[in-house]
Amino acid sequence: MTQHLDPTKKHDAILLFDCLDGNPNGDPDAGNQPRIDPETRQGLVSDACIKRKIRNYVELVGRDEPESAKYKLFVEEGTVLNEKIKRGYIELKYKTEGVKEGTPEQQEAVTKWMQENFYDIRMFGAVLTTGLKAGQVWGPVQVNFARSFDPVFPTTVTITRCAATEEREGKDNKTIGRKEIIPYGLYKSYVFYNPHLRSEFVTQRDLELLWESLVKTWEFDRSASRGFMACRGLYVFTHEGKYGNAPVHELFDLLSVTLTEDVPRSFNHYNVQLDENNLPKGVGITRLA
């Protein structure tokens, strides 16, 4: 088994991705402008946004998996979460009419059923107490906010459409709109896999799909509003010991990213170096992008 695919080991990863002439993650509280740190002007992309991309990729690929039923998603657009919890009770032949919560034994059984059948529950965890109770799951995967290496400069671009939505006397048949973009930003996020929070249902294929999604999801998540986004690096540090062989900050410090131009407008304007010669004993590195 390749080291980065072992679900019994601790993994810590660095993800690099960039955005060219687009909006990587709009802030609804700021007119959908790209998220930024107001003090440093560095760009931000939320953990929820990154996990959404992972979910979208798994949903796409999961349809062709031999056990496709195990790659459904709990959190997906347009669905009602409580109905999915209820479905677990129904699948296990438990009574749901007039029942506010099942017995502790039933809740435990439903929790296991949902972990087995929903990829995002067994990997990210979930709160399953909003309707018919099914406990709470702590998943082994944690994703951090992404932050750009340098300040980004949100820009509002006005666009026009040659067709109006409705006819108005005395006005041109045009519509004015706008887009919120950044010219360029290179972002870094951290992804952690803690085997001590892994359930019996997490498999090698689950972990493989996680890393695969972080590299490939950008290819299937294209949007005019997001501009051009791509994975620029995925570095997975794997510990031999189940409690880790080195502090994670020491591992992450081995990656250096240096700007080589005055104004970054391309990934080629950065120099990325990984110091593999100083890896601590008991830690391996796998570069996936």
Q: What are the domain boundaries of the chain?
A: 1-34+183-289, 47-144
Express each pLDDT in 163-217 by its tens digit.
Answer: 777 776 556 667 788 899 999 999 999 999 999 999 999 999 999 999 999 999 9
Half-sphere exposure of 168 (CA within 13 A, CB side): 9
Q: What is the mean pLDDT of residues 231-248?
A: 96
What pairs with residue 83 in β-bridges? none
Interatomic CA distance for residues 144 and 149, integer angstroms = 15
Question: Binning pLDDT at 50, 70 and 90, where does residue 55 land?
Answer: very high
Token pair for 91 = 């699948």
pLDDT at 289: 93
pLDDT at 163: 76
Token pair for 240 = 């031999």
Express each pLDDT in 137-168 by its tens digit.
Answer: 999 999 999 999 999 999 999 888 777 777 76
pLDDT at 171: 63
> pTM, whole model, 2 decimals?
0.93
CB 137 within 8 A of CB 115: yes
Interatomic CA distance for residues 264 and 41, integer angstroms = 14
Q: How far is CA 123 from CA 9, 193, 262, in A?
A: 14, 9, 41
Rg for the chain, CA atoms, rounded: 22
